[in-house]
Amino acid sequence: MLAPSLRSPAPQQQRRRPEQRQRGRLPPMEPGSAGPPGRGLRRGRRRRRLLLAAGLSCTALTLYTCLQELPPLDVGPGRARPPPEVTVLLWWEPFGHRRHMADCQRRFNISGCRPSANRSRYQEAQAVIFHHRDFLLHGLGQLPAGPPQRPPAQRWVWMNFESPSHSPGLRDLAGIFNWTMSYRVDSDIFVPYGYLRARQASPRFSLPRKTKLVAWVISNWNEAHARVRYYHQLRKYVPIDVYGAQGLALEEGSMVRTISQYKFYLAFENSQHTDYITEKLWRNAFKSSAVPIVLGPPRSNYELFIPPNSFIHIDDFPSPRKLAIYLKFLDQNKPLYRRYFAWRDNYDVHMTSFWDEQYCKVCEAVRTAGDQLKIIQNLASWFES
């Protein structure tokens, strides 16, 4: 998506079926705003209202950029009030890795934010973040103990950036959390793996010299995965250089340096779920200036985040053989190949900064949410939908 300005938390909502989601959709590139927590309209209605409102001054494609880049109002000298400070407590640092907490003001222009992993601040924290993978490791018994278990108005935030296929234990978490934070658009706090943002005054995009055809970097090789099965079929018709645990070593250990030599990159997700579009697209392909060949959610889902002519979906072709024929055709047709980079004249690629960006966005969510509270009773059914 285009650069995310922070969404206010919104209630969990049921997803529409893919064929419903694609009607009338242009790819909104930057996360925008939604209402405060509480019962609300269905997600589809909320998105339509957001797009219609934005249409007054922005196209759907640049909606989020417009929302983020509006200048602050000039309230005159002596009248501006600094926002109240917000303390966000990280109950477990992701995967047990200790790290320095971000300066939200300096990095993301979010003032008055105090992220911390110091549990002595529990009673003063307006929000507490629980990382799902670490929750599985420590269990329910390691949640904050009372009395009181949860200070009034404190939000508990469930944070997860794995797909449902790799997120066990969800059905044990009903009625515990107030907000969700994930890559899903309908999360209370939406944080994609990456997004597009309006290109600033900078040198024009220059396509690196390409000397090779197709690359794939994979660390978790599983013959049962759809991506490995498809690879075995595709490589019968077109050469594919594989890097990682099952293949070649990256040049000087650099993903971007290696992949930038290739015209195409297999941005194959390890599982196929709504909105699950990871660094395989944003960093491995886009940052390396390779055309992504994607295997993940349907094309219509990708087009919510990126222009339709910026990628190739395996579903565009009836078979791997047909896809291979098209890749070889593009290899010999430079003008058509370069069309896959036309969007670069208008957008830059931003990779989300894990985990600093998440912590700072929770601060802003707390500030914009108001006093309404909710409890998520259907975490598993929502996330697995």
Phi-psi region of 136 (alpha: psi -120 to 50; beta: other; left: phi over 0): alpha
Sheet with 127-131, side-by-side order of all strands = 113-116, 86-90, 127-131, 155-159, 179-182, 189-190
**Strand 189-190 and strand 179-182: pairing?**
parallel
CA–CA dist 328, 279 (Å, integer)? 26
Element (DSSP H or E) covering residue 71: none
- Relative to beta strand 194-198, strand 347-351 is antiparallel
296-327 CB burial, b ≥16 within 10 A, e <16: bbebbbbbbbbbeebbbbbeebeebeebbeeb
Distance of CA 165 to the CA centre of its chain: 17
Could you check whether the bond before residue 4 is cis, i.e. omega within 30 degrees of 0?
Answer: no
Name every residue whose Cβ is closer than 8 Å to that of residue 274 and which is 6 or more positions away in sequence: 15, 184, 297, 301, 385
CA-CA distances (angstroms) from residue 247 to 219, 220, 243, 286?
9, 12, 4, 22
162 is catalytic: yes
SS3 187: coil
Q: Which of 162, 251, 279, 384 is catalytic?
A: 162
Q: Is the peptide bond before 355 cis (omega within 30 degrees of 0)?
A: yes
Judge contact between 8 and 368, C-beta under 8 A. yes
Sequence-ordered list of residues with C-beta below 8 angstroms from that of 66, at least 6 positions apart, any chain: 54, 57, 58
Query: What contacts 292, CB < 8 A, 6 or more positions away?
Result: 264, 265, 267, 280, 281, 284, 285, 286, 310, 311, 312
Could you report how far apart the first and last alpha carbons of the chain are, in Å?
Answer: 21
Cα-based distances in Å from 227 to 194, 201, 353? 21, 38, 26
CA-based radius of gyration for the chain: 22
**380: which 2 tokens?**
């598993």
Q: Which residue has the tokens 């004249």?
A: 345
Active site residues: 162
